[in-house]
Amino acid sequence: MTPKISVILPVYNAQSYLQESIESILNQSFQDFELIIINDGSTDSSLSIIESYTDQRIRFINQSNAGLPVSLNRAIAQAQGQYLARQDADDISLPERFAKQVAYLDANPQCALLGTWAQILVENHLTDRSLSHPHLNGDIQLKLLFFNCFVHSSVMIRKSALEICGLYPEEKEKFPPEDYDLWLRIAKHWDVANLPEALLQYRELPNSISRSKLEIMQERARLMSLMALKEILPQSTTGNAISNLVLAMTNEPFAAPQSNKAIHSKMLEQIRDAQLQRFPSHQDEIHQSYEDCQKLLNHAYQKLTAQQLARHLPFDIIPLLKRVKKWLR
C-alpha cells in the first residue's frame, strides 16, 4: 500500500544522535509513512545503528559519500509518498509533527511547502531559543526573496510540485544552501507556509555546515536572492542596485549614497506590487511584510549613516548608539 508520507533522513557520521532521531520519526502519532534512510558513506557507527532496526517501514540506501543534495535526490527518486518529509539525523520531530502537517496540506491543496517552527537544542540541552519564521504565505512570499524562511529539517513538500519545480540543485556552487534554491523555485508556482508551532527540535552543533560554511553559504544565498529579484523587478533595474538592496536587507555592509534609499524603497514597493498581483487574497499579509521590510531598510541606512560618521570621530560610535538604543527602550 502506498504511504501518505515518505520521510527522507540523510545520514553522515551521525552516531551520537541518530537513534534518538529515528525514534522520533517511528513514534509519530501519524503512522502512514515510509522512512527512507540514506547512509552517505558514514565512517562511524551510523551504519550499524541503522541496520539494528527491523521496522518494515524503513527503506535503507547505503552509498559512497556523494554529498547532501545528491543523497536527497536519490531518496526522492525512490519515494512513494504523496508528501515528502525532511529530517536531519541530529534533529528530533515532536510526536504530532506529521499529523499536523498532513492535516494542513490536505486542507490547503494550493500549498506545496510547509515548515514548522523549531526549538533549539545545543548538543543535548534544550534552550529557551527558537526558530520562529514567518508563517503566512503572503508574508513569506515577500521575505523569502531576501531570507530563507524555513527550517530545512522541518519541511513537508508536496511531491507533485517537484515535477514542476525540479529537485535539489546538485551544482557545487549551490551547496550550501541547496534548500533555499529549491524554496525559491517552489514559491514561484505554489503557496508556502509554516505552522506557527515548534514541532521540531533543531540541534546546533559546532561543526555543522551552517556554522563551518556560514560565510560562503550567506554569499551564495545573496546571489540566489539577487537572481530571484531580477525576475520580479523591471528590466531597467541595475544589478548593482539589486545587490545593494540585498546587502541592506540582510544587514551586510554596502556602499551606497544616502540618496539610494529612495531607490531601494521604490524597489520594495515594486516587489510588493508584484506579490499583490500574484496573491490578491493575501493583501493584508503582503502589506505587513512590506512594512517589515521597509523598517529593515531604514535600519540599514541608519547604520550606514553611523558608519560614515564614525570615520570622522576619534571613538567608535557604533557601540555607543547601541547602548543609547537599548536605554531608550
Span 230-278, pLDDT tens digits:
999 999 999 999 999 999 999 998 877 888 999 999 999 999 999 999 9
Q: What average pLDDT does range 118-132 have in this prediction?
A: 95
Predicted model pTM: 0.92
The pLDDT of residue 83 is above 90: yes
Local confidence band at 85 (pLDDT 50, 70, 90 cut-offs): very high
Asked whether residue 319 carries a pLDDT value surpassing 80, the answer given is: no
Q: Give the whole-number percent of the chain exceeding pLDDT 90.
A: 84
**Nearest CA to 25 among 1, 49, 55?**
55
At 145-171, the pLDDT tens digits run 999 999 999 999 999 999 999 999 999
pLDDT at position 253 is: 87
Beta bridge partners of 192: 113
Query: If you average pLDDT over residues 56-70, what whole number do you get?
Result: 96
Task: For residues 118-142, give the mean pLDDT.
Answer: 96
- The mean predicted confidence, pLDDT, of the chain is 93
Mean pLDDT calculated for residue range 126-137: 97
In this predicted structure, the answer to whether residue 313 has a pLDDT above a threshold of 70 is no
- The CA distance from 215 to 213, in Å, is 6
pLDDT computed for residue 145 by the predictor: 98
Q: Tell whether the model's pLDDT for residue 314 goes beyond 60.
A: no
Count of residues in the chain: 329
Q: Given this model, what pLDDT does residue 254 score?
A: 84
- State how far the Cα of 162 lies from the Cα of 284, in Å rounded to an integer: 29
For the record, the C-alpha cell of 218 comes out as: 550567506
pLDDT of residue 137: 98
Beta bridge partners of residue 157, listed in sequence order: 84, 113
Spell 40-49 as b/e; 16+ CB within 10 A means b: bbbeeebbeb
Mean pLDDT, rounded, for 50-58: 97
